[in-house]
Amino acid sequence: MQTPEEYEVSQRVGLLIQGLKYRRGMSKQTICQYLEISTRTLDNYLSGASSFKLGTLLKFADLCRIRLADILDETEALSRLHPHKLKDKFSILIVCFSSIWSLFFFENIILIILCVLFFYANKDKNSQSVIGIFVIAFMLEVIVAYCLKFIIFPAVESYYFENIYAFGLQLCINLLLLFMLKNRAFLSVLVTRGRSAPVLERSPIEATVYFLVLTLASVDFLALMENFLRNLERLGVEESVAKAFWEVTFFYDYFEYLKAAPTWACVMVLFTAIIARKDNKASLNSW
């Protein structure tokens, strides 16, 4: 059985586990794998049936990117990781976006919507050329997401490397998307073999979607840089200095929400462009 002091520590660890589940989507099984204990052992720790081992607490502190002293003394750094702290910020947006992202596979939904838009614009080759570029990019996103989940993540044992792969690959895809948008006319001519003049027209939404995709790429880049900053000790920096940056987790915690807004904005802009071009054609035909 635990002493009252040990039980207080267990309660703090329980709150932190809720925070990891809520903020980072980590399951109890994933946490236990990192701690190298069984779920039953963790349940015994949290219920007070047995005491945490020092080594386990050290691993848990490393997982949360905090100091062991923060867990033992209930510091401000610890309280910021509690789940209710995140719920207090942008609560409505978080409920909406987290539901979409985790339950309905965000990338898959966006890809399906883009495919629907592509076929909806079947008589508008100009809009199709822009949407087709997004379809290609999100097909790559879906492929990468499954590769990360089933191939890359099981093969690496560190969240540091997992984040490098995840943020790095998404950054590469968005940079490719920027490149394809910038060279849309050239790529469209290659695909159509120059037989479709409308694809050469400059779309009025190109600047808007280019800015939105640039925003997505910026989020990926900043998340990747934040991952390096949060793990400076792995890059040769003294741990006493690196610890000051362990709590830099803004992009890590809000990554899905920061990506969801501009992604949905891209979809809405593409849909609006289809409607606008159809209205323009209808107006010209009425003349």
Splitting the chain (287 residues) into consecutive groups of 10 residues, what average pLDDT does each group show?
84 85 75 89 91 89 80 69 50 42 68 95 88 95 88 81 92 97 88 77 87 97 94 87 83 84 95 85 59
**Taking the model in full, what pTM does it have?**
0.76
d(CA 133, CA 136): 5
pLDDT tens for each residue of 142-160 = 999 889 888 988 788 677 8
Model pLDDT, residue 150: 85
Domain 4-87: give its CATH code.
1.10.260.40
Closest CA to 133 of 217, 210, 221, 195: 210
Q: What are the CB-based long-range contacts (under 8 Å, 24+) for 98-102?
A: 98/256, 98/257, 100/260, 101/256, 101/260, 102/25
Structure-block tokens of residue 265 = 């904005």
Is 20 in contact with 63 (CB distance < 8 Å)? yes
Model pLDDT, residue 20: 79
Model pLDDT, residue 101: 41
pLDDT tens for each residue of 5-51 = 888 888 888 888 887 776 666 788 888 988 889 999 999 999 989 98
Model pLDDT, residue 287: 53
Model pLDDT, residue 79: 64
Q: What are the CB-based long-range contacts (under 8 Å, 24+) for 83-86?
A: 83/15, 83/18, 83/19, 83/21, 83/22, 83/23, 85/19, 86/19, 86/22, 86/23, 86/253
